[in-house]
């Protein structure tokens, strides 16, 4: 078989196109893509760009294809780099509110986790360090265990994360 070659699911939920030798394009519903490509879209695009640079000598068209598929979102290294209005800005707003004492630990945890989910659904990242802190914090005090972070300990740890990313 010679490219172009197209493979499609019978129910048309997804397809894989091999337009020329050296790469394939994949498209489909969210469920199809989640099963076929478990990484985030931007991770795939970054990996494809590295592959294109490595294999570009054999298939020069790869570099043009990779440059036409840049990452959609950026993983910002500093809080001030995050543009207002992005999904990532929302978890940062919760972070600032908690550090400033404008919400409780439980309110912060609920709001931050909800905002993080929106950021992830939009392909953005939102402070995995805070997620792991919240794994050690019980939102409901009736379920708090001895080794869980207290609200003060959570506040101190979140302040450290915010200071590190400032």
pTM of the model: 0.56
Q: What domains are there in the chain, each with its CATH number?
A: 5-68 (no CATH), 79-165 (1.20.120)
pLDDT 10s digits, 89-124: 888 899 889 999 999 999 999 999 999 888 877 767
| pLDDT for res 166 | 64
Q: Which residues, given as ranges, of the chain have pLDDT below 70? A: 73-76, 123, 125-126, 165-166
Q: According to the model, what pLDDT value does residue 129 have?
A: 82
Q: Tokens in use for 72?
A: 């959609």
**3-class DSSP string for 9-48:** CCCCCEEEEECCCCCCEEEECHHHHHHHCCCCHHHHHHHH
């Amino acid at each position: 078989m010679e490219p172009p070659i197209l493979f499609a699911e019978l129910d048309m939920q997804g397809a894989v196109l091999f337009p020329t030798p050296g790469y394939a394009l994949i498209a489909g519903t969210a469920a199809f893509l989640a099963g076929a490509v478990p990484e985030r879209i931007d991770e795939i695009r970054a990996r494809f760009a590295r592959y294109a640079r490595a294999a570009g000598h054999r298939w020069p068209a790869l570099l043009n294809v990779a440059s036409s598929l840049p990452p959609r979102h950026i993983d910002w290294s500093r809080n001030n780099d995050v543009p207002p209005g992005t999904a990532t800005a929302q978890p940062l707003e919760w972070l600032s509110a908690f550090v400033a004492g404008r919400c409780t630990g439980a309110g912060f945890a609920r709001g931050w986790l909800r905002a993080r989910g929106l950021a992830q659904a939009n392909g953005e990242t939102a402070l995995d360090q805070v997620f792991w802190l919240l794994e050690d914090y019980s939102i409901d005090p009736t379920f708090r265990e001895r080794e869980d972070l207290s609200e003060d300990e959570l506040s101190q740890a979140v302040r450290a994360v915010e200071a590190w990313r400032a």
